[in-house]
Amino acid sequence: MKKLTVSLDHCQYPIYIGKGILAKLPEVLQEAGMTFRRKLFIISDSHVAPLYSKQVQTVLEKAGYEVGMAIVPAGESSKNLQQLEHLIGECLRFGLDRQSVIIALGGGVIGDLAGFVAATYMRGIPFIQIPTTLLAHDSSVGGKVGVNHALGKNVIGAFHQPMLVLYDVETLNTLPKRELISGFAEVVKHALIWDPSFIKWLEQNSEELMALHAEKISEAIYRGCQVKVAVVSQDEKEVGLRAILNYGHTIGHALEAVAGYGVYTHGEAVAIGMAGAVRLSTKVLGTDKQVVVKTEKLLHAFELPTQYNPSHVTDELLLQAMKRDKKVRNDEYSFVLTSDLGSVELVRGIHEEQIRTILQEIRGGKA
Ligand SMILES: NC(=O)c1ccc[n+]([C@@H]2O[C@H](COP(=O)([O-])OP(=O)(O)OC[C@H]3O[C@@H](n4cnc5c(N)ncnc54)[C@H](O)[C@@H]3O)[C@@H](O)[C@H]2O)c1
Ligand SMILES: [Zn+2]
């Protein structure tokens, strides 16, 4: 089992990564200072709960905890205020108090939703992240929690750090392939923004990673989390550096929204967004074209797309969606751009014309 520690000004918490470590939950709870048997409440979704909730519940009950559970329908559409209210009702009915702990068992949707329940219930109670998707190596770390509004994704939320993250890589064996691939986009992102040696390692190990070789996947998650931890611990509330985690997300978020949620997975959209961002970097920063070639090659090694299908979206709609994004001011766009592999920066004042050129380049052939 690998362990990483997130150290922030006001708190510190561990991330455990390994194969078959769900069984160790009582042990790590003890280590995290849970010396008495508080009430625990699992929040999961309709895909994950049938696979893993019994196991989690049993191991905790055997250790003497009283455990409740609520299950929401799987998918992004559960990340809303109605579910929040419903779940808070369930917490009240189960008698959770301020000493109780919520357990988020699932992917990023559950992490964000259950984390936000924990952030708001009785003005905030502790929670634990048990991520079950590859993408959630990103979302379970860093304390951003929240739900969507009809007019925007993740616009209702809070910063609420978990008390620990327990990542059992065995759960990835049941993850649909497309979701796995989506998660690799964020792994690749973490390498591209921070760590040239991680990029090399991903290039060399892509086949074993795609085949879910347990040790390799643990290593990839560990290294991805390491980047996230390094960034978040320098800028927890995104006043500066943390913005670099949005590499590929300006175009990516626009693509997700315009195509309609579900047409592209988050990772597919971010992969196309990174292909756009690296191409824009050659125009704005004069980045070497080899960086584009290498970036796209790495994304393709994980079967990720680097072009969007124009029958799903138009450039106009994409630009409009980008304008609604928090990162556009006075018609000037901000983009996280790359000067070289493993190094990015936030660049302001990018003009619409430059983005139009890039959109043409990453527009696929099918009309
Ligand atoms: N808080 C953050 O910092 C942050 C960062 C990135 C993304 N996010 C959020 O994360 C969400 C996306 O997360 P996601 O991609 O994990 O989506 P998800 O939670 O919807 O999971 C994807 C699908 O896989 C299923 N699933 C999950 N684990 C499984 C398993 N082990 N076996 C079988 N099926 C499984 C889920 O039920 C769902 O159908 C978005 O809402 C995004 O906004 C948050
Ligand atoms: Zn993302």
Q: What is the CATH number of the domain that holds 76?
A: 3.40.50.1970
* Nearest atom of ligand 1 to the alpha carbon of 142: 3
Domain count, the chain: 2
Could you read off the pLDDT of 252-297 as tens digits, one per residue?
Answer: 999 998 998 779 999 999 999 999 999 999 999 999 999 999 999 9
**Residues 111 and 212 reside in one and the same domain:** no
**Residues 220 and 334 reside in one and the same domain:** yes
- Residue nearest (by alpha carbon) to ligand 1 atom 44: 139
**Residues 216 and 335 reside in one and the same domain:** yes
**Residues 156 and 276 reside in one and the same domain:** no
Would 355 be classed as within a structural domain?
yes
Q: What is the CATH number of the domain that holds 303?
A: 1.20.1090.10
Is residue 181 within 8 Å of residue 302, measured between CB atoms? yes
Would 210 be classed as within a structural domain?
yes
Phi, psi of 28 (to 5 degrees): -75, -25
Phi, psi of 72 (to 5 degrees): -110, 160
**Residues 149 and 185 reside in one and the same domain:** no
Q: Is 158 in the pocket of ligand 1 (CB under 6 A)?
A: no
Would 60 be classed as within a structural domain?
yes
- Residue nearest (by alpha carbon) to ligand 1 atom 7: 139
**Residues 70 and 126 reside in one and the same domain:** yes
Q: Is 115 in the pocket of ligand 1 (CB under 6 A)?
A: no
Q: What pLDDT is attached to residue 37?
A: 79
**Residues 167 and 200 reside in one and the same domain:** no
**Residues 169 and 201 reside in one and the same domain:** no
Could you read off the pLDDT of 90-145 as tens digits, one per residue?
Answer: 999 999 999 999 999 999 999 999 999 999 999 999 999 999 999 999 999 999 99
User: In the structure encoding, which two tokens stand for residue 278, read together?
Assistant: 């690296």
Is residue 343 within 8 Å of residue 336, measured between CB atoms? no
- Separation CA 188–CA 209 (nearest Å): 12
Residue where one domain finishes, among candidates 174, 200, 228: 174
Residue 344: closest CA among 269, 306, 291 = 291
Would 68 be classed as within a structural domain?
yes
Would 367 be classed as within a structural domain?
no
**Residues 168 and 192 reside in one and the same domain:** no
Would 215 be classed as within a structural domain?
yes
**Residues 141 and 188 reside in one and the same domain:** no
Cα angle 285-254-293, degrees, rounded to a multiple of 5: 40
H helices of the chain, in order, are 25-31, 54-62, 81-94, 108-120, 136-139, 177-194, 196-210, 214-234, 249-259, 266-284, 289-301, 315-324, 352-361
Residue with tokens 């561990």: 14
**Residues 198 and 133 reside in one and the same domain:** no
Would 366 be classed as within a structural domain?
no
Catalytic residue list contains 324? no
Residue where one domain finishes, among candidates 142, 174, 206: 174
Residues spanned by the domain of 118: 2-174
Residue where one domain finishes, among candidates 150, 174, 198: 174
Q: Is 133 in the pocket of ligand 1 (CB under 6 A)?
A: yes
Residue 250: closest CA among 269, 231, 263, 265 = 269
With a cut of 50, list the residues of the chain below it in pLDDT.
Answer: 367
Q: Is 174 in the pocket of ligand 1 (CB under 6 A)?
A: yes
Would 185 be classed as within a structural domain?
yes
Catalytic residue list contains 329? no
Q: What pLDDT is attached to residue 366?
A: 55
- Residue nearest (by alpha carbon) to ligand 1 atom 3: 139
What is the whole-number distance in angstroms between the Cα of residue 21 and the centre of ligand 2?
A: 26
Please name which ligand lies nearest the alpha carbon of 138. Answer: 1
**Residues 165 and 181 reside in one and the same domain:** no
